[in-house]
Chain A
Amino acid sequence: MISSTRIGARTARRTKTIALNVTGVLVALVTLFPVFWMIATAFKPSPEIYSLTPRLLPAHPTLGNFSQVISGQAAGIGTVWLFFRNSLAVTRAAVLIASVVSLLASVAVARFRFRFRASFLIMLLIVQMIPGQALIIALFQEFGRLNLLQNLLGLILVYAAQALPVSIWMLRNFVATVPRELEEAAAIDGATALRIFWRILFPLVAPGLVATSIFSFITAYNEFIVALTFLGQAHSTYTLPIYVTYFFSRGGAQWGPIMAASTMYTIPVVIFFLIVRRRLVGGLVAGAVKG
């Protein structure tokens, strides 16, 4: 009697585990499918792409779509590497500037008690909620007057500045966890403020800087509306998303090369996500949940 109920309970538990795992596999497959389809299309020759009965995998995989994107023949505005270089130049500079500036600000917020501290923090929260498309008109005029449209410097400045609210908000938690006693001990030993900063604070806050850099990198790499508005017809300054958009809206249904281009745009950031996943999840959760 006892043993039969125990067996029944065990079977019920096993059924439940199987059901959970099956659901898990289904969720994963459905989620993966669109990305899989993008990559599959990128490797298909044209007749297979427009075939009346689509196949899951390319029957005759080809690199032709990629070579068209690399030669620049497909979109007609240059090789994909040019836009890679633009995107990398912009994101790298923006991340660097944002990291330095937000580190300084987060030291101020975490280490000092001053009059407008709380207002500054609330301002950061509110400011990041202002819709980008509401300000784009004025940004366009402002940067036009500064002669910073249709070049990468304008984008660098905007991306760096736009990354500040979240970066400061995230970094201040990291700065706050560095024990003050360490800095005080160094100060007693006669270390200058600069030395304390480089030798004590900076190494301890470095993981936080990595987390915020990841965030600002992804935001800048994906940014659309500012680049779309600023770069206009200056093809040689296009970043990757604007290049893909140009290619896409040019029509002509070149789905093979378009999917090849967006695969090349997507894969680096996906790999990056996978490498930094733990920091990313922790950082974003800290940013979103704990504030």
Chain B
Amino acid sequence: MAETAAALPGAEARASARFAGFVRRRRLAPYLLLLPALAGIALVYFWPLAQVVLYSLQNFGLPQVTGAAPTQWVGFGNFTSTFADPEFWLSLRITVVFAAVVVPLTLVTGTLVGLLLNRLGRRMSAFVSTAALLAWATPPVSASVLFYWLFNPDGGLVDWTLSKLPHWLVGSTNWSGFNWTTTGALQAYTVLTVLVVWQAFPFIAVTTLAGLKTVPAELYEAARMDGATGWRVFWRITYPLLKPIFLVLLLLSVIWDFNIFTQTYLITGGLGNRDEFNLSLYLYDKAFTFPPSYGLGGAIALIFTVILLVVTVGYVRASVRQGALT
């Protein structure tokens, strides 16, 4: 270091020393360290968010992008036309119902597998969690394409299996050649439910397992001495102790399933089936499908963000209560 300092011309060395002194006196060091991170976050979060707010109040579409027509302020016009659009309400309903079904299903499956992992021997536990890890590691695009193939009417395994099963078990539908992805929202989202639960339960299971490891074994032994059943032990000991973890997992799952885009985009066939749009697809379609309307897209994006912000406040409060800011 001494060499480099000597190599610097005197004026420059003095200037850099003066800068260091300035930083120290004004206690600027933390702000300087934060500067690159803040620049990055501004680039991909703050600036776009501000822009989206502006778009939502303008008639910003193709003519405005190409410069053929001027951008005009339209007040809350984009919001009122969104609320007047039946497709918006349909996509909102699909989003909410999907989350309401998938979140509990994922949480219950994940918790049960977590409890199972905790009870299994070491080798068996490693085997099951490796299998779960594989489902978790599969990229969403691969998983979606794969499930599309599994549920494909031409040669897909699911239709073939269902057509071989007895009618009393699977209903009298003619399953061979049954089209899951374009028949309607219910069928497409059935596939999506299986897909998302398959991909998301491992994270819940592993997190639950990590939580279970922190519960003192004496508590369980005492409960067993008193003759408590597994069900009672879970609700009286495990659940109260792991409640903070479950709360965070619940909020994260709601956010993920509400936000889901990749899987719905691929399973419902790009943007081809309008009656299968969830909120994300509806937003993407309004903004980018020709002719693009960034104004409408901005309005929907804001509505979307506000809904999620309500959930986020819950997440932040849960984290703060766990002492995350210390």
Residues of A near any B CB (own CB < 8 A): 20-21, 23-25, 27-29, 31-32, 34-35, 37-38, 41, 49-51, 53-54, 100-102, 104-105, 107-109, 111-112, 114, 117-118, 120-127, 129-142, 157-158, 160-162, 164-165, 168, 192, 194-195, 221-222, 224-225, 228-229, 240-241, 244-245, 248-249, 253, 255, 258-259, 262, 265-266, 269-270, 272-274, 277, 281-282, 284-285, 288-291
CA distance A210 to B51 in the complex (A): 35
Contact, CB under 8 Å: A135 / B45: yes
Contact, CB under 8 Å: A35 / B135: yes
CA distance A291 to B321 in the complex (A): 10
| B6 interface hit (Cβ, 8 Å) | no
Closest to A111 in B: B30
Please classify how large the interface on chain B is, using the bins under 10, 10 to 19, 20 to 34, 35 or more.
35 or more
On chain B, the residues within 8 Å of A274 by CB distance are 130, 133, 137
Contact, CB under 8 Å: A241 / B33: no
A-B pairs with beta carbons under 8 Å apart, 15 shown:
A21-B124, A27-B116, A28-B132, A34-B147, A112-B29, A129-B312, A131-B305, A132-B259, A139-B44, A141-B51, A244-B145, A262-B141, A266-B139, A281-B210, A289-B211
> Given A132-B259, A134-B305, are A35 and B149 also a contact pair (CB < 8 Å)?
no
Contact, CB under 8 Å: B210 / A285: yes
Contact, CB under 8 Å: A20 / B119: yes
> Given A20-B120, A50-B154, A262-B146, are A137 and B294 also a contact pair (CB < 8 Å)?
yes
Contact, CB under 8 Å: B255 / A244: no
CA distance A130 to B128 in the complex (A): 34
Closest to B245 in A: A289
Report the number of A-B residue pairs with Cβ-Cβ less than 8 Å: 287
Expressed in whole angstroms, the minimum distance between the Cβ of A132 and any Cβ of chain B is 7
> Given A49-B155, A164-B37, are A291 and B322 also a contact pair (CB < 8 Å)?
yes
| B13 interface hit (Cβ, 8 Å) | no
Which residue of the partner chain, among A24, A117, A130, A136, contacts B284 with CB atoms under 8 Å? Answer: A136
Residues of B near any A CB (own CB < 8 A): 1, 27, 29-31, 33-34, 36-37, 40-41, 43-45, 47-49, 51-52, 55, 65, 113, 116, 119-121, 124-125, 127-128, 130-143, 145-150, 152, 154-155, 157, 160, 198, 202-203, 206-207, 210-211, 244-245, 248-249, 252, 255, 258-259, 261-262, 265-266, 269-270, 280, 283-284, 287-288, 294, 297-298, 301-302, 304-305, 308-309, 311-312, 315-316, 319-320, 322, 324-325
- Known contacts A28-B131, A107-B33, A269-B138, then 12 further A-B pairs from the complex at CB < 8 Å, ordered by chain A residue: A34-B150, A35-B134, A37-B149, A101-B37, A121-B325, A137-B55, A138-B298, A224-B261, A224-B265, A266-B138, A269-B139, A273-B134
Which residue of the partner chain, among B113, B137, B252, B304, contacts A131 with CB atoms under 8 Å? Answer: B304
CA distance A277 to B136 in the complex (A): 11
Contact, CB under 8 Å: B128 / A27: yes
Closest to B252 in A: A288
Contact, CB under 8 Å: A248 / B266: yes
Grouping DSSP codes into helix (H, G, I), strand (E, B) and loop, the B interface class, with mixed when no group exceeds half, is helix
